[in-house]
Amino acid sequence: MSELDDLQSDAEQAARSMQAKVACAADEDGAARVALGFLAKNDWLGWALPEAYGGHAVGGRVAAEKVSVEALCAVRRGLARGCGMVDLMFVEQGLGSYALALGGAKDLAQELMGEYAAGTRIAAFAVTEKDAGSDLAGVSTQAVRTDRGYCLTGAKTFITNAGIAHDYTLLARVAGEPGDRSGLAMFRVPASARGLEVKRFEVMASHPIGEVILNDVQVDQRDLIGEEGQGLDLALGVLARFRTSVAAAAVGFGERALEESLAHLKSRKQFGRSLSSFQGLRFDLAEMDTRLAAAALLVSHAAACVDAEEDSKAEVARAKLFATETASWVCDKAVQHHGGLGVRRGTVVELLFREVRALRIYEGTSEIQKLIIAKHLLNQDTSS
Ligand SMILES: Cc1cc2nc3c(=O)[nH]c(=O)nc-3n(C[C@H](O)[C@H](O)[C@H](O)COP(=O)(O)OP(=O)(O)OC[C@H]3O[C@@H](n4cnc5c(N)ncnc54)[C@H](O)[C@@H]3O)c2cc1C
């Protein structure tokens, strides 16, 4: 077993040990806090952060200022197999803080990321708006310079950890009109800032999420991450580092669904026989396994390319597209294999089916991944 395999297997065991406790929490914020507390206590959060800012590393594979995507993927695949909420709280600490490592003031990044590693602060990544989803150039939240720093006005939506986060790394417009890619900047916005309001809503699986509304929110000069005009590159840089790990989590969800199918089909009898003796269902199992194995290979390849600093947009897009679509398909099959139990609240496959769906949407939808792959193909094709 490689170091990464060990990491994945330890992560899975850890998350499985938390599944029942997370499920018993009174609400999704409670579940999120139980998951985060566990991750912090057992020193898992460092795998979502760069080594230079209190994170962990596997044998110096990436520069100390970067998060190792291979390690991130190993941990997420394991955590997602064990418990979706533990995986979610793990990755958000990295996703919500990585812009600081890319371009934040060094002292601020050191101070905050130490706390994210310890789980004493919660991070969130806030780029999406009502009219700026797949196309982030449409961001209209305004950041106007003041004596002290900047004053922010606007609204973000679909923000994971809205309401429980202590800080948002947030994309706002410092110049130009929506559609202009060069007029954006990223900021660290403390949740405690006056004028910041959160409106929560629910999505189909337990997930702390909502709108973040900014009513003349004042931030300091040191809260500007990078420079004015670099915002879109920074936001896309964060996504480029973390997107492969969405694919890894999808593989983890799919593998757990296959495991549940195998156990159910072996134990359940109908027509006097075990369901696993029916050839049609055996074909399903073989196909689920083969597609997941292919997805896992795409994920490993993409993660290795990103860590090697190769131009890996197409590799990452293939992994995200195929793994998330495959995992959705596998979880749907697993629900079907369970019959009525498959849709009964509290069954593992019912939860997986709901949890896995959003992975085809966030951090770049499946359609956006197809556009990236097609662009790569067309750029390579010198005949057109
Ligand atoms: C559970 C969840 C958590 C999230 N967490 C966060 C978060 O923490 N922070 C954050 O900033 N955002 C977050 N998001 C937002 C997420 O990143 C967006 O939902 C996503 O980028 C898609 O944007 P949209 O919802 O506006 O859809 P749209 O961009 O409006 O797309 C709608 C549909 O049109 C398709 N489409 C769009 N453009 C094209 C095109 N050019 N060609 C073909 N098809 C196209 C899309 O693929 C999609 O199917 C989260 C979303 C969800 C569901």
pLDDT at 51 over 60: yes
Average pLDDT score over residue span 131-138 = 98
Protein residue whose Cα sits closest to atom 43 of ligand 1: 367
Nearest CA to ligand 1 atom 37: 134
Ligand 1: does its nearest atom lie under 6 Å from the Cβ of 365?
yes
In whole angstroms, what is the distance from residue 380 CA to residue 384 CA?
A: 9
For residue 12, pLDDT beyond 60: yes
Q: Is the CB of 133 under 6 A from ligand 1?
A: yes
Q: Is the CB of 159 under 6 A from ligand 1?
A: yes
Closest ligand 1 atom to 135 CA: 29
What is the number of the ligand 1 atom nearest to the C-alpha of 92? 8
Does the C-beta of 141 come closer than 6 Å to ligand 1? no
Residue 366 Cα to ligand 1 middle (Å): 10
User: For the residues 7-29, what does the mean pLDDT come to?
Assistant: 95
Q: How far is the CA of 133 from the centre of ligand 1 (A)?
A: 5
Please report where in the chains the tokens 């990236």 appear, as a residue. Answer: 372
From residue 209, alpha-carbon distances to 5, 156, 158 in Å are: 32, 11, 6
**Mean predicted lDDT score pLDDT of the chain:** 96
- Residue bearing the CA closest to ligand 1, atom 27: 133
Q: Is 356 exposed, middle or buried (0-12, 13-18, 19+ CB in 10 A)?
A: buried
Ligand 1 lined by 134 (C-beta under 6 Å): yes
Give me the domains of the chain, ranges plus CATH numbers: 3-118 (1.10.540.10), 123-229 (2.40.110.10), 233-380 (1.20.140.10)
pLDDT per position as a tens digit, 91-129 = 999 999 999 999 989 999 999 999 999 999 999 999 999
Atom of ligand 1 nearest to the CA of 364: 21
127 in contact with ligand 1, CB cutoff 6 A: yes
* 287 assigned to active site: no
176 pLDDT band, cuts 50/70/90, is very high
Q: What is the DSSP string of 313-342?
A: HHHHHHHHHHHHHHHHHHHHHHHHHTGGGG
Q: Could you tell me if the CB of 22 is within 6 A of ligand 1?
A: no
Exposure string over 241-266, b if 16+ CB within 10 A, otherwise e: bbbbbbbbbbbbbbbbbbebbbebbe
Per-residue pLDDT, averaged over 54-74, amounts to 91
362 Cα–ligand 1 center, Å: 6
- Given pLDDT bands bounded at 50, 70 and 90, which one contains residue 139? very high
CB of 361 closer than 6 angstroms to any ligand 1 atom: yes
Catalytic position from the list 197, 211, 363, 367 = 363
CA of 306 to the centre of ligand 1 (A): 23
Helix (H) or strand (E) holding 143: strand 142-145
| Ligand 1 atom nearest to 160, measured from its CA | 8
Query: Which pair of structure tokens corresponds to residue 13?
Result: 């065991």
User: Can you point out the beta strands (E) in 33-130?
Assistant: 123-126
**Ligand 1 centre distance from Cα of residue 357 (Å):** 13
| Ligand 1 site, residue 126, Cβ cutoff 6 A | yes
- Provide the whole-model pTM: 0.97
The predicted structure's pLDDT at residue 381: 63
Which is higher by pLDDT, 58 or 263? 263
Instruction: Using alpha carbons, list the distances in angstroms from residue 352 to 8, 18, 74, 333, 345.
Output: 19, 16, 19, 11, 11
> If you take atom 26 of ligand 1, which residue's CA is the nearest one?
133
pLDDT for residue 383: 53
